[in-house]
Amino acid sequence: MKDEVKIILDICDKILLKNVDHHLRLNLEPNSTQFKTLKNEIISSELTKLLVKEDLGGAGMTLTDIIPIIQLSAQYGTPIPFIETIISNFLLSELNIKAENDFITLTNKTENILIKKDKISGNFKSIPYLNLAEKILVETEIKNQKYIILFKKGGKLTLQKNFLSEPKFDLDASELEIISMIEKPEQMDVQNLLINVRSIQSFGAMEKILKLCIEYCSQRKQFGRTLSKFQMIQNHISEIALEVAASGASLSTLKNNNKNFYNLKSTAIPKIRTGIASGKVIALSHQVHGAMGFTKEYELSYFTKALNSWRNEFGNEIYWQNILGKLFLNQNKNFWEFLNN
């Protein structure tokens, strides 16, 4: 790990340790002091500009560099659009647009988009943390041309009914003010980028779940012994550890260079592997925790709900297995050749 990444990781760790707890997750209000303090510390320490080019006032780090930071944020169960803002600012920076000093959230699920002068109207779906962000970045298609558009929040927000830990909103917008609008370069695959962020977050959340399992089993006693001494429990936890380890290793496809975040094969491999792992980790960790894990007060469920949410976004692992299988079949290569290229 580069020294500069270690420094940033340390700064990030201190801020999240001080400000993020389960109380914040359960009582997340835009006007709460806890949220405002956290937001202020993140924005003022410029953590949302890690991927912004240096000549645009950012830290000039790469997507590969910030994998541990996305991972850390997920380990803390950070219930704010922190990573969404980092990614939005990255996309803006790639388009040579200055970063914003506020929380931004983003989506690529749009319908009925209409641009009139400097105003945007339309329906926007599944926007994470829209209640906590001031601006929205969207990827959308207008007359066979894809655009990246940044606009100010407004219109009607509808909270989606789902099993997620993080709030997601649909937005019906009418003539909201566009801040920037630019044609999307061909190579910029926003969906694959967002999927990869989710794969990294899933890995981080699974690491946290493993930690919770170890702590819980090492404290709770039944039949006169701590749970961790039961071989069956050890078996469950070692299987969780196996899945966590494999998930982390699957992210290796992204660690070579930034372009891999857009590449289909590099995206599909961790998307599938972390999706498979998530299913096993959710089931086993709840089994290990017994009824305690099923309560709202205990933090396990926050992370298992997050995993359930993320593994179902952008197509589940079955959908992606099919894409990856076809990617191989459509290339005129033997199997080993495909794996090695």
Partner 1 sequence: MTYFDFPHIEEDDNLKNLRNDVKSFLKTTFNSNNIKPQADAWMYSANPEFSKKLGEKGWLGMSFPKKYGGHEKTMLERYVITEELLVAGAPVAAHWIADRQSGSQIIRYGTEEQKKEIIPKISSGECFFAIGMSEPDSGSDLASVKTFAKKTADGWELTGRKIWSTGAHLSHYMIVLARTEKLDEKNRHSGLSQFLVNLKLPGVEINPIEDMTHQKHFNETVFNNVKLNKDALLGEEGMGWQQVVGELALERSGPERFLSHYILLDNFISEFRYKMSEMGITSLGKIISELQTLRMMSFSIAWMIQEKKSPDVQAAFVKEAGNVFEKKLIETIREMSNLIPFEEWSSSLKSLFQDATLRIPANSLRGGTSEIMRGIISKQLGLR
Binding site for partner 1 (CB under 8 A): 71, 75, 207-208, 210-211, 214, 217-218, 228-229, 233-235, 237-239, 241-242, 244-246, 248-250, 252-253, 255-256, 268-270, 272-273, 276, 317-318, 320-326, 328-329, 334-336, 338-340
Closest to partner 1 by CB, 150 vs 268, is 268
Closest distance of CB 338 from partner 1, Å? 8
Count of CB atoms within 10 A of residue 257's CB? 12
Closest distance of CB 275 from partner 1, Å? 9
Closest distance of CB 255 from partner 1, Å? 4
Closest to partner 1 by CB, 93 vs 260, is 260
Closest to partner 1 by CB, 127 vs 212, is 212
Closest to partner 1 by CB, 26 vs 329, is 329
Closest distance of CB 217 from partner 1, Å? 7
Closest distance of CB 1 from partner 1, Å? 9
Closest to partner 1 by CB, 17 vs 114, is 17
Closest to partner 1 by CB, 134 vs 239, is 239
Evaluate whether 202 touches 274 at the Cβ level (below 8 Å).
yes
Closest to partner 1 by CB, 159 vs 249, is 249
Closest distance of CB 312 from partner 1, Å? 16
Closest to partner 1 by CB, 132 vs 213, is 213
Under 8 Å CB-to-CB from 245, ≥6 apart: which residues?
none
The 3-class SS string of the chain reads: CCHHHHHHHHHHHHHHHHHCCHHHHHCCCCCCHHHHHHHHHHHHCCHHHCCCCHHHCCCCCCCCCCHHHHHHHHHCCCCCCHHHHHHHHHHHHHCCCCCCCCCEEEECCEEEEEEECCEEEEEEEEEECHHHCCEEEEEEEECCEEEEEEEECCCEEEECCCCCCCCEEEEEEEEEEEEEEEECCCCCCHHHHHHHHHHHHHHHHHHHHHHHHHHHHHHCEECCEEHHHCHHHHHHHHHHHHHHHHHHHHHHHHCCCHHHHCCHHHHHHHHHHHHHHHHHHHHHHHHHHHHHHHCCCCCHHHHHHHHHHHHHCCCCHHHHHHHHHHHHHCCCCCHHHHHCC
Pull the structure tokens for residue 43.
């924005």
Closest to partner 1 by CB, 86 vs 251, is 251
Q: Which residues of 271-309 are buried (b: 16+ CB within 10 A; e: fewer)?
A: bbbbbbbbebbbebbbebbeeebeeeeebbbbbbbbbbb
Closest distance of CB 55 from partner 1, Å? 29
Closest distance of CB 60 from partner 1, Å? 21
Closest distance of CB 206 from partner 1, Å? 10
